[in-house]
Structure 1
Amino acid sequence: MLKIVRVTSRLDRKEFTDLPESLYRDYPLWVPPFSHEMKALLKSRGSQLLANGPHVFFIAKDDNEVKGRIAVGIEQVMNNEKSVKHAYFTLFESVDDREVAEALLRTAESWARNKGMNYLKGPVSPTNGDDYRGLLVDNFDDPPAVLMPYNPPYYASFFDSFEIYLKYLGFQYDLANVISEREIKFTEIAMDRYKFRVEEANFRRIREVSADLQKIMEESIPNWEEDILPPTYDELYDMAKTLKLVADRRMVIIARSGERPIGFFVALPDFSPIIREIEGRLLPFGWYKFLRLRKSLERARAAILFVVPDYRNKGVPSAMFLRAYRNIQNMGFKEIEGSSISSMNLTMIANARRAGGKEYKHYIVYGKSLLKRPLSLSEIYGPAASRYVPKGQRNSERVLERI
């Protein structure tokens, strides 16, 4: 008999963590998470999302066999900032059985409703990154880049009763055809006209780099942006220290006007083939393979791009792209996978296409009212509500577009 069990014991945590190994046995492109990071999440460590409010983990069991899992929680800091009453779910996995998936989702809905929330959304990322953020809904044949979602195609069918909350676009770049001569000329003119420069990050001055990134993000993230808050200095310092370990300084570019930091771009090698080979385990011998094979990688991942508002249409993104792409090409990479971009972010979508990006994957974050009525746009999107208009109803999904 199917039952939903709250994760409380060491055995429960192990079953939660181990489920994907059997679930993805027939999906050779799946990239397992690092086992030590997943174990930390199950102990509520290493995640600002989990630190910002109550959360629980559940597993679905049938005759003591684990069939699915889900985590549900409340991001209280985000809710207070956006004036909404949202719960989230993350780390969702399920066998191809609608009964299992619906039981897990009903459990998440009930928990959130009992906490006084009026909306459930997900899947979201437990690390506030791209990993687990949204379901992949198409193009299951191209390998996922590192820290990008990947799931069985049947997952989307479990969310028929949900709305589309957010949609993200994935871009791919062929380094042999990135950035036209016309765009290069435009970039050179823009740098001269608007008096800015681009440079590689100096990892020997990591605290100053962290402070620069914080200034850029505080200016760059508008208060209406969905589900994003500027990180603290400590969070960015931790991120910068990680970048120093996994990225090359030639792949981390900062733009400046005088001494003012106005933008930054971060790329890193796509480690997914190596992570797949070591099965997400760095110990005892995974580190050796990781270091030995990293020079064989042919794809890079463009992970982060922020530009302050007054420089977004002045060639800054293109200038950082150009500097990074030339470095990445000289380092022997053949291709770049772009970080997913919100369908709301028309400026960044235009920049991606201008830089030669090919839109090739899509990810959906779903949402559902927990009340016995549809929610208003303000209840769903908070300060971003004015940027949406309903276009109609279809199969219980609210179809939205940016004004």
Structure 2
Amino acid sequence: MKEVNSHSDYLDFIELPFLLYRDNPYWVPPIKKDYLLYLKGKNNSLSSCPHKLFLAIKDFKVVGRLLVFIDIELNSYHSEKNGYIAEFESIEDVEVSNLLLDKALEFCKEHGMDFIKGPVSLPGGEDHRGFVVNKFNTPPTVMNIYNFKYYNDYWMDYGFTKYYDCYAYRADKEDLRDNVHRIKEILPKIVKRFNYRIDTINLKDLDKDLSDIYEVLNLALPREWKDFKPLSLEEIHETFQLLRPFMDTDFICIARNSEEKPIGFNIALPDYNEILIKLKGKMGLAGLVKFLYYRKKIKKIRMFVLFVVPEYRKKGVSAAIYFKCFANAINKNYSQLEGSTIWEYNKAMITDVEKFGAKRDIIYRIYKKEIQY
């Protein structure tokens, strides 16, 4: 086992999945230079959290990796002591997996944690969450994960049990035609009755719109959701700066009432994985040409955040946002919609997305293990 310290160690950490999945047509490689920044906490909150990255070495070759961290702010907010694992990869060798998990467990014990959970996003993230458990013959959408089936077996053999599942719901425009027609008929009456409207984000007045998103998020985030904490306005600004090169303003909506108060919002992105899978981890001149060419051919969008303030739930706001976003997508020749990753305890969103006509597709499982001293 080796702790990641040097630049070459980081490069080895990054390179491993390129080797593991080189013959797999479904894995989507990240852009290496961006992924390096991600691992170093340059575009997330990892740098403010105790963390370590480990490599497993066998016969002088890297055969496994993981990242383990303590999210101090999340633990403090919920008065818990949890350690977290992310970015796990291993060859098909249970001993390699066990050695990696031993290191993660050791790190969490050193910090006095009660439980260890994973795989999860890095702090504040909405990506790389869980292990796929049910569908391994399709590429993931943007910011979602792909993995070998045996990862689940290795973690359970080690003593991990299911914590929660997160779901990806998918629909083609043909699947939604009847529901969209029905919603189109009744939605104007609902919107008029409760007196609100749906806007798309305005980049010319971004400060105001991000302040409105901040207000909604902190009113709408249920206190009992142990895997989330409120974001600061600064964190929201940082997130949008990262998303800005990839966002389409027609897919980010804000609901406001007659008094101009924000009451809901969503964030959806075009599925850039449809392009990344062709770039093989590199964004040179040739990659840029491919990127610019294929971005107009993307067929899917992923909605990964939707919140509505409590007093406007069950008043059609979620449906109105879904409808606005999907109608905009259809007008731009997109043909598929995914809502993910929806935690299984988010019953309201599951109900809304199923009523809209989407079907549960991929299941991403997060595991937990009590730490014994």
TM superposition score normalised by structure 1: 0.88
From 104, 111, 114, the counterpart of 2:107: 111
Q: Distance in 2 between matches of 1:37 and 1:243?
A: 13
From 3, 6, 15, the counterpart of 2:3: 6
8 A Cα contact 2:275 2:295, kept in partner: yes
Taking a change above 3 Å as real, the CA distance of residues 65 and 244 of structure 1, as seen in their structure-2 partners, is closer
Aligned pairs (5 A) from 1:238-249: 238-249=238-249
Q: Distance in 2 between matches of 1:44 and 1:330?
A: 37
8 A Cα contact 1:265 1:320, kept in partner: yes
8 A Cα contact 1:52 1:77, kept in partner: no
Where does residue 71 of structure 1 map in the other structure? Answer: 67
Where does residue 51 of structure 1 map in the other structure? Answer: 47
8 A Cα contact 2:4 2:10, kept in partner: yes
After superposition, what is the alpha-carbon deviation per residue over 1:6-39, rounded to whole angstroms, capped at 9, x for unaligned?
Answer: 1112221111111010011121111112212221
Q: Distance in 2 between matches of 1:244 and 1:11?
A: 30
Taking a change above 3 Å as real, the CA distance of residues 143 and 42 of structure 1, as seen in their structure-2 partners, is closer
8 A Cα contact 2:127 2:144, kept in partner: yes
Where does residue 397 of structure 1 map in the other structure? Answer: none
Where does residue 131 of structure 2 map in the other structure? Answer: 135
Q: Distance in 2 between matches of 1:134 and 1:244?
A: 25
From 82, 91, 114, the counterpart of 2:87: 91
Deviation at 1:286, TM superposition (A): 2.0
Q: Distance in 1 between matches of 2:239 and 2:7?
A: 29
Aligned pairs (5 A) from 1:279-298: 279-298=280-299
Q: Distance in 2 between matches of 1:103 and 1:242?
A: 35
Q: Distance in 2 between matches of 1:209 and 1:180?
A: 27
Segments of structure 2 that go 5 or more residues without pairing to the other structure are: none
Deviation at 1:238, TM superposition (A): 2.3
8 A Cα contact 2:169 2:340, kept in partner: yes
1:188 aligns with 2:200: no
Deviation at 1:284, TM superposition (A): 4.0
SS in 2 for 1:176: helix
Where does residue 395 of structure 1 map in the other structure? Answer: none
SS in 1 for 2:163: strand
8 A Cα contact 1:199 1:253, kept in partner: yes
Aligned pairs (5 A) from 1:134-213: 134-160=130-156, 161-178=159-176, 179-213=179-213
From 11, 16, 32, the counterpart of 2:29: 32
Where does residue 331 of structure 1 map in the other structure? Answer: 332
Q: Distance in 2 between matches of 1:59 and 1:244?
A: 33
Q: Aligned AA for 1:361? A: I
Aligned pairs (5 A) from 1:323-402: 323-371=324-372
Once the two structures are overlaid, the 10-residue window that deviates more, 232-241 or 130-139, is 232-241
Q: Distance in 2 between matches of 1:306 and 1:136?
A: 25
8 A Cα contact 2:71 2:123, kept in partner: no
8 A Cα contact 2:44 2:125, kept in partner: no
Q: Distance in 2 between matches of 1:181 and 1:45?
A: 44
8 A Cα contact 2:303 2:339, kept in partner: yes
Q: Distance in 1 between matches of 2:29 and 2:333?
A: 26
8 A Cα contact 2:175 2:358, kept in partner: no
Deviation at 1:127, TM superposition (A): 5.4
8 A Cα contact 1:299 1:336, kept in partner: yes
Q: Distance in 2 between matches of 1:25 and 1:128?
A: 30
Deviation at 1:176, TM superposition (A): 2.3
Deviation at 1:117, TM superposition (A): 0.9
Where does residue 82 of structure 1 map in the other structure? Answer: 78
SS in 1 for 2:80: coil
Q: Aligned AA for 1:347? A: A
8 A Cα contact 2:43 2:242, kept in partner: no
SS in 1 for 2:175: coil
Q: Distance in 2 between matches of 1:319 and 1:67?
A: 48
After superposition, what is the alpha-carbon deviation per residue over 1:62-104, rounded to whole angstroms, capped at 9, x for unaligned?
Answer: 1210000011111111111110111101110001110100110
SS in 2 for 1:40: helix
Where does residue 376 of structure 1 map in the other structure? Answer: none
8 A Cα contact 2:180 2:323, kept in partner: no
- Between the aligned residues of both structures, percent identity stands at 33
After superposition, what is the alpha-carbon deviation per residue over 1:208-258, rounded to whole angstroms, capped at 9, x for unaligned?
Answer: 111111011011112211211121112211233344421221111110012
Taking a change above 3 Å as real, the CA distance of residues 58 and 152 of structure 1, as seen in their structure-2 partners, is same
Where does residue 228 of structure 2 map in the other structure? Answer: 228
Q: Distance in 1 between matches of 2:71 and 2:242?
A: 24
Q: Aligned AA for 2:298? A: L
8 A Cα contact 2:272 2:298, kept in partner: yes
TM superposition score normalised by structure 2: 0.95
Taking a change above 3 Å as real, the CA distance of residues 352 and 252 of structure 1, as seen in their structure-2 partners, is same
Q: Distance in 2 between matches of 1:83 and 1:108?
A: 21
Q: How many residues align?
A: 368
Taking a change above 3 Å as real, the CA distance of residues 323 and 172 of structure 1, as seen in their structure-2 partners, is same
